[in-house]
Amino acid sequence: MTSTGVLRLGTRGSALAMAQSQTVADMVTAATGMRVELVEIATAGDRSSAPVQQLGVGVFVSALRDALSAKEIDFAVHSYKDLPTAPADGLSIAAVPERADPRDALIARDGLTLAELPAGAVIGTGALRRIAQINALGLPVTTVPIRGNVDTRLRKVAEGELDAVVLARAGLARLGRAGEVTEILDPMLMLPAPAQGALAVECRSADADLVEALAALDHRATRAAVTAERALLAALEAGCSAPVAALAETTEDDEIYLRGAVISVDGRFALRLSRTGTLADAEKVGRLLAADLLEDGAENVLGSAE
């Protein structure tokens, strides 16, 4: 905390990151009474136009974590799906607020749904996971990789450069643009990325008072869900480089239902399995489902995403 008693929240400078961080800042102030100021941190991912899969996991995270370790900021807000699965030395995820809608969304010209897009339609997306699942559907469409902020991507549809784009619905909602969605994609067709729609609030482990204060924002069911999804991802990262998708749902009875998928980029191999368990066993459920996927052939696409 600064000498003025104001908490410094580090954030990427994109409109979506700023919106997410302001939401968390308001939650912290409401829960603790402490003032929060946003500190913009430029990351390597923001400075590059290369596809995300070429830049590597954590490209939007490392600069924020460096600023935390250097005590330039007090805490940071990440899109949880951007975080590497390995923990960072000296840092703690103090809170995982209640998750927004984790599903993917289609924004298409003329209000079309995915099934209504004509043969030869071009869909833009930056995620191999989405490309693989669209290919697996066998639709007569073409996917192209895109980068840029939400406005840039939506503009490509509005101006006719693309017929559609696929984005996370949570991000569109946080920017007030959910009304432009033409179809929310059923997870049976398009399983989300692990931890999609969730935020991670991170601070230094040694700042015990801040860890305790931020814990007021934690949502138990959301934390369990993303723990299961990320445990699956962590277990598969060592043995499978194909796109991985996962979604955990929880019940009021403290049960968790985890679905996972491994898909080759061309869509020809698509393995989908599920497991159930309790919230307390969320990490174990994720690891067991990963083992199931590997046992049933996920290793067949080892290296296919390289």
E-strand ranges in the chain read: 7-11, 36-40, 75-79, 91-95, 104-108, 122-124, 142-144, 164-168, 183-184, 199-204, 244-250, 255-263, 270-278
Q: Which two tokens stand for residue 266?
A: 């061309």
C-alpha to C-alpha distance for 71 and 190, rounded to whole angstroms: 40
DSSP 182: S
Contact 241, 265 (CB under 8 A): no
Catalytic machinery residues: 82
* Strand-pair category, 255-263 with 244-250: antiparallel
C-alpha to C-alpha distance for 156 and 247, rounded to whole angstroms: 29
Nearest CA-CA partner of 147 in 139, 156, 158: 156
DSSP 9: E
* Residue bearing tokens 């920017």: 175
Nearest CA-CA partner of 75 in 137, 25, 145, 142: 25
Contact 268, 300 (CB under 8 A): no
Q: Which amino acid is at 143?
A: T
